[in-house]
């Protein structure tokens, strides 16, 4: 495949075969150098893949996406705690201290 052809590949067409083969490591940003929780990475990938369904009714609501991403964060923080703290290049609790996530999101629904 030429470089130009590589640039024309839609991200879903690139990611889906990797996920189908169980290769989450080649989906996650290599700059993390493997320093991430597998469970949180899989949950994020699964959430992303549900958001690109071709039939709109099969896609999750933003409330569901938010809930899934919160679960990813919980899984990642548990992974960090289990490995004994925060390593270089990983997420820290302080990284998210300024993020406000309203679980009672009342904006317009995508459906």
pLDDT digits (tens, 9 = 90+) for 28-84: 999 989 899 999 999 999 999 999 999 999 999 999 999 999 999 999 999 999 988
Q: Is residue 83 part of a domain?
A: yes
Q: Is residue 108 part of a domain?
A: no
Q: How many CA atoms lie within 13 A of 88 on its CB side?
A: 2
Tell me which residue range forms the domain holding 67.
Answer: 3-96
Q: Is residue 52 part of a domain?
A: yes
Q: Is residue 103 part of a domain?
A: no
> Residue 64: in which H helix or E strand, if any?
helix 62-82
C-alpha angle 42-107-47 in degrees, rounded to nearest 5: 10
Q: Is residue 22 part of a domain?
A: yes
Q: Is residue 57 part of a domain?
A: yes
SS3 of 37-62: the string is CHHHHHHHHHHHHHHCCCCHHHCCCH
> Phi and psi for 11 in degrees, rounded to 5?
-55, -35
Instruction: Please report, for the chain, how many H helices and E strands are present, in that order.
Output: 4, 0
Q: Is residue 30 part of a domain?
A: yes
- The pLDDT score that the predictor gives to residue 86 is 55
pTM for the predicted model, two decimal places? 0.69
How many domains would you assign to the chain?
A: 1
- The pLDDT score that the predictor gives to residue 10 is 84
Q: Is residue 110 part of a domain?
A: no
In whole angstroms, what is the distance from residue 29 CA to residue 33 CA? 8
């Amino acid at each position: 495949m030429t470089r130009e052809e590589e640039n024309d590949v839609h991200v879903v067409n690139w990611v889906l075969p990797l996920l189908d083969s169980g290769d989450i490591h080649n989906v996650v940003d290599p700059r993390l150098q493997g320093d991430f929780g597998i469970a949180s990475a899989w949950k994020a990938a699964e959430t992303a893949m549900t958001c690109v369904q071709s039939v709109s009714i099969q896609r999750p609501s933003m409330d569901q996406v938010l809930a899934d991403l919160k679960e990813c964060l919980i899984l990642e923080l548990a992974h960090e705690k289990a490995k004994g703290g925060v390593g270089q290049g990983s997420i820290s609790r302080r990284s998210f201290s300024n993020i406000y996530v309203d679980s009672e999101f009342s904006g317009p629904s995508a459906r």
